[in-house]
Amino acid sequence: MAVQLDKALTREKIAKRAEREIESGYYVNLGIGIPTMVANFIQEQKEIVLQSENGLLGIGRSPYEDEVDPDLINAGKETVTAAPGASYCSSAESFAMIRGEHLDLAILGGMEVAENGDLANWMIPGKMIKGMGGAMDIVHGAKKIVIIMDHVNKHGAPKILKSCTLPLTGKGVVDRIITDRAVIDVTDEGLVLVEVAEGWTVDEIKESTESDLKVSESLLNTSY
């Protein structure tokens, strides 16, 4: 099922919307790709700590050119800054934080999400990959999982499906999906459409989603 792509929001706007999921006092893990951009939109009044599975507790915003330290990277091997009060630890200690359920929220990318909350986000058949990273631990260790991704793939086919076709990262782990078109909650009664991005209609969102969608009674139209 091919759908139009010309109204898609920018990745920056998706990341900015995802920032609203973070509450003051949260310990948060940001996955590679669009999720790493969320760090650039953290509101100053929020006191939060960003955690990286490679051993940095207290990630700051992306560095300016004159601030780049090639030794200071996140789990996606992107250069980052360290926030005031940041600390460093081994990868083993970092994963102990994750597995010990000390993360309040993880914002991750996704290749496919199923209507029951299954997530596939680590492997594309036929392409060279470096492995699943820490995602399998994160989706079971964090208290809430938010997936941010494009609503459809580059061919225009839905990425929110009745069941995933790619290898799973976790079963029934996703709580909320934020795309360039909508915000959708995963509930025991199925997927619920809670926000529609500017320029899109409910019918268009349904058309570009393989799974059935229920529409929230408090549906919001938003520019993100």
Give the whole-angstrom CA distance, residue 97 versus residue 27.
10
Contacts of 150 (CB under 8 A, 6+ apart): 8, 159, 179, 180
Sign of CA pseudo-dihedral 4, 8, 11, 16: negative
12 among known catalytic residues: no
CA distances from 126 to 32, 94, 168 (A): 20, 31, 16
Q: Tokens in use for 184?
A: 């959708």
Using alpha carbons only, how large is the chain's radius of gyration in Å? 17
Give the whole-angstrom CA distance, residue 154 versus residue 3.
10
Most distant CA pair in the chain, distance: 50
Q: Please state whether beta strands 49-52 and 27-30 pair in parallel, antiparallel, or not at all (unpaired).
A: parallel
Q: Which of the residues 53, 115, 195, 210 is marked catalytic? A: 53
Q: Tokens in use for 62?
A: 């992306």
Give the whole-angstrom CA distance, residue 111 versus residue 160.
9
> Which residues does the annotation mark as catalytic?
53
